[in-house]
Amino acid sequence: MYEKDYILRMVEMFAQMIAGLLGLIKGGHLEQASQKLDHAYLDFLKKDAALFRKIPALELTESLLGEHNYTEDHLKILSELFFAEGELHFIRGNYTDSLNFFEKSLILFEFVELNSRTYSIDSGSKKSELREKIEHLKSLLH
């Protein structure tokens, strides 16, 4: 029972952190958002953000599950962090980087959804949002 309560508190804390991070980005507090994002990688995944940023999109799941022994829960967290990072780069006008992070987020999100035993009501809308952002960025870059 205690472990389940702890996990629920961690999930709630992470959701609040992501919401706060997106609020900072939308509010134009980009440096503060960037710092909080870097700390989130360390706090939740126990690795520096640079490790995750340098893994090519098509090698993400294999690398993280195989070489780094992460779980699907870690991949869910990383998907959300990549989403926030995509938003940050978009606001800064770094469309290529934004596209990269949104694509990585979608890859992880779809992988987790495909392999998960639980259903999420938000999954359809999240995938649609990511796909729309990716298509929009591709149109801006071409």
Average per-residue pLDDT for the chain: 89
Q: Which two tokens stand for residue 102?
A: 């949104």
The angle that helices 2-26 and 30-45 make with each other, rounded to 10 degrees, is 160
Q: Left (φ > 0), alpha (ψ -120 to 50) or beta: where does 69 sit?
A: left
> Does the model's pTM come out above 0.75?
yes
pLDDT at 3 over 70: no
Q: Read off the amino acid at residue 30.
A: L
Give residue 55's domain range. 2-141
Report the domain count for the chain: 1
CATH number, domain of 19, equals 1.25.40
Res. 125 pLDDT band, cuts 50 70 90: confident
Q: What are phi and psi of 98, to 5 degrees?
A: -60, -45
